[in-house]
Amino acid sequence: MKHYSLYVLLLLLLAGCGRSGGETPPPQGGAAPAESADEFVARANAELEELYRELGAAEWVRSTYINGDTAIIAAAANARYQKWHGEMVKSSLAYEGQELDPATRRAIELLKLGTSAPAPGDAAGRKEISTLSTDMEGMYGAGEYCRSDGDCIPGPELEQRMRDVRDYDELLEYWRGWREVSVPMREKYARFVELANEGAVELGYDNLGEMWRSNYDMSPADFQAESARLWGQVKPLYDELHCHVRARLGEVYGDDKVPQEGPIPAHLLGNMWAQEWAALYDLMEPFPGVGDVDVDTTLRTRNFSPQEMVRSAESFYVSLGMPRRPDTFWERSQFSKPRDRDVVCHASAWGLDGGNDLRIKMCINQTYDELRVIYHELGHNYYQGAYKDQPPLFQGAAHDGFHEAIGDTVVLSMTPGYLAEVGLVGSAEDDPRAVVNRQMQMALDSIAFLPFGKLVDEWRWGVFSGEIAPADYNRSWWELRTKYQGVAPAVERSEADFDPGAKYHVPANVPYSRYFLARILQFQFHRTLCEIAGHEGDLHACSIYGNREAGEKFHAMLEAGASQPWQDTLEVMTGTREMDATAIVDYFAPLMAYLKERNEGRSCGW
């Protein structure tokens, strides 16, 4: 889900926009800057406070009152920020090579890394990269598959059909149809890469991929190695899941369509990109009907209002010793879809006015899925409130994976025992078969996602570095997807296609490693908090609800924001400076045992 702290909001808006005209160039010929680095950072923070207030308000109104007028207001505010950011980034280059206070150097580096697509310095290049970004996002957003009879199916509906349909040929039709949308993006994307690389070089990086990997308080090479290490820790669990899912799909469609020693056809996994497989749970449920957690009935029977659902989530955080949401949160948040206007219903959390004005934006329905989204969004909100006393340049996550992991860590504590304790279900189910069922449901979402979460950026790192040439875009994409995911297209793909562009984050140029890291961190955080809470027994059965000691450690980690290297922040709570995916293996131990038993005698791998 999206989250909007002040600085993060603006970084998202800057993606693909680059720097605008009218910048003041940095001093030339070695001339000393007019202000010290400390003074420069102080001015940047002061000016950001005002810019954030204006742009945050404009974007909120744009999302909750969608019309032509609010589009103009938001665009104008964004343009002012772009101009300011371009000027400040150029000025910051004057401090390169100087001996600086560590906090000052960090602030300048965060400012410099404040766009996922730096534009070239010339006006023509800036305009071109902005146009390309707008064009590609527009092509994706307006994308639809049109059949020969003139029936056109928009992207969101195609995604839903991929979840619901089970017919092999119909799924393949939708899968191929959506990938027609991305074909015209291919040349635009290749040119976009050239321009973004020019901008990255001007900021002192070899290419845009190196710039992205520099945002993790380690060298780009070390971050690449770290991603590989984390993947290695969870790969055995993924391999067992893949083997079992492939076998079950072979039973459904036949081994001629799902070969039992090769990759799984990419269109059969219940998701347009085969990135999450939760839609297959009805086929994969280990023990049908055992231990279903029926929160939906409670929500409907007791007629929970959207506000009551949010207060339920708030109570969890309060039980950890964190503050209740302020009155303004309840007055200004959007909990339901208004009847009189168009709004963006996609769930998001907002930390406006430097985190002093906290809100969420949702269109809440009475379902357990929606309740878990609320717990997730409040995690963003509590993070935003915790680091609000940091300077604006440090109002963000320790690294981009942290923000997504916070709320998901709390969701892991929504155990059947917790749900029974707060009255959302009648009793806790301790049947071990129910545990395996729940873990299968979770794994089809979180474990299935991990290799996809890693490979999207790995493909782009190769593209940005030139290791993957434009003539090899599609071939290399499918090589990585087969290598990591064990999936492949059921029909031949060629370089006339551009299948990476069929995933939003590629044409929109949104870095993707954050999602891979977040899925790992949430389990590491959960294991640590359970240890602090004194939990004994299986990790999957732990809820930290009501434990103030765990809450105190949790909140202390959040307060640091982006003010220090993430390793320091991680150490505050976990006692270690390394991300660790072994917590995932611990958590899913019951499922792993089940999968190994079911896979005995099967030929796994691809």
Render pLDDT for 286-304 as a digit per residue (tens, 0 to 9): 999 887 788 999 999 999 9
Mind listing the pLDDT tens digit for each residue in 197-228? 999 998 889 999 999 999 999 999 999 999 99
Q: Is 159 a catalytic residue?
A: no
Would you say residue 437 has pLDDT above 90?
A: yes
Percent over 90 (pLDDT), the chain: 79
Residue 483, domain member (yes or no): no
Residue 109, domain member (yes or no): yes
Work out the number of other CB atoms within 10 angstroms of the CB of residue 256: 7
Q: Is 555 a catalytic residue?
A: no
Mind listing the pLDDT tens digit for each residue in 567-581? 999 999 999 999 999
Q: Is 377 a catalytic residue?
A: yes
Residue 29, domain member (yes or no): yes
Work out the number of other CB atoms within 10 angstroms of the CB of residue 301: 9
* Residue 282, amino acid: D
More confident residue, 478 or 17: 478
Give residue for tokens 């079911």. Answer: 598
Q: Cα(215)–Cα(385) distance, rounded to whole angstroms?
A: 23
- Using CB atoms within 10 Å of the CB of residue 349, give its burial: 0 to 12 exposed, 13 to 18 middle, 19+ buried: buried
- Single out the catalytic residue among 276, 377, 429, 458: 377
- Single out the catalytic residue among 376, 399, 526, 555: 376
Q: State the pLDDT at residue 79.
A: 77
User: CB within 8 A of 592, min separation 6: which ones?
Assistant: 237, 240, 585
Residue 110, domain member (yes or no): yes
Q: Helix, strand or coil for residue 487?
A: strand
C-alpha distance from residue 454 to each of 224, 352, 509, 520 (Å): 10, 31, 15, 11
- Indicate the pTM of the whole model: 0.91
Q: Is 346 a catalytic residue?
A: yes
> At 31, is the pLDDT very low, low, confident or very high (cuts 50, 70, 90)?
low
- Single out the catalytic residue among 380, 399, 526, 540: 380
- Residues forming a β-bridge with 351: 358
Q: What's the DSSP call for residue 346? A: S
Q: Is 15 a catalytic residue?
A: no
Q: Determine the distance from the C-alpha atom of residue 415 to the mean position of all C-alpha atoms in its chain, rounded to a whole number.
A: 24
Work out the number of other CB atoms within 10 angstroms of the CB of residue 302: 12
- Using CB atoms within 10 Å of the CB of residue 139, give its burial: 0 to 12 exposed, 13 to 18 middle, 19+ buried: middle
- Kind of pairing, strands 348-352 and 2-4? parallel
* Residue 503, amino acid: K
Q: State the pLDDT at residue 3.
A: 47
Q: Where are the alpha helices (DSSP H) in 203-349?
A: 208-213, 220-253, 281-284, 295-301, 306-319, 327-332
Q: Which two structure tokens, joined as six digits, stand for 501? A: 């562009």
Mind listing the pLDDT tens digit for each residue in 227-253? 999 999 999 999 999 999 999 999 999
- Single out the catalytic residue among 225, 346, 471, 593: 346
Q: Is 85 a catalytic residue?
A: no
Q: Cα(383)–Cα(600) distance, rounded to whole angstroms?
A: 44
- Single out the catalytic residue among 505, 531, 549, 559: 505
- Backbone CA torsion sign across 588, 604, 242, 275: positive
Q: Is 347 a catalytic residue?
A: yes
Mean pLDDT score of the chain, rounded to an integer?
A: 91
- Single out the catalytic residue among 94, 347, 443, 448: 347
Q: Is 376 a catalytic residue?
A: yes
CB 213 within 8 A of CB 461: yes
More confident residue, 536 or 29: 536
> At 149, is the pLDDT very low, low, confident or very high (cuts 50, 70, 90)?
confident
Residue 45, domain member (yes or no): yes
Q: Which two structure tokens, joined as six digits, stand for 446? A: 């979180």
Residue 113, domain member (yes or no): yes
CB 485 within 8 A of CB 452: yes
- Single out the catalytic residue among 59, 240, 404, 429: 404
Would you say residue 45 has pLDDT above 50?
A: yes
Torsion of CA 304, 305, 308, 312, to 10 degrees: 50
Range of the domain at 97: 2-117
Residue 356, domain member (yes or no): no
Nearest in space to 118 (alpha carbons), one of 7, 192, 26, 214: 192
Give residue for tokens 């001629």. Answer: 256
> At 137, is the pLDDT very low, low, confident or very high (cuts 50, 70, 90)?
confident
Residue 461, domain member (yes or no): no
CB 436 within 8 A of CB 291: no
- Using CB atoms within 10 Å of the CB of residue 342, give its burial: 0 to 12 exposed, 13 to 18 middle, 19+ buried: exposed
Q: State the pLDDT at residue 87.
A: 87
The number of distinct structural domains making up the chain is 1
- Single out the catalytic residue among 95, 216, 368, 515: 515
Taking CA 305 as the corner, what is the angle to CA 301 and CA 310, rounded to the nearest 5 degrees?
A: 115
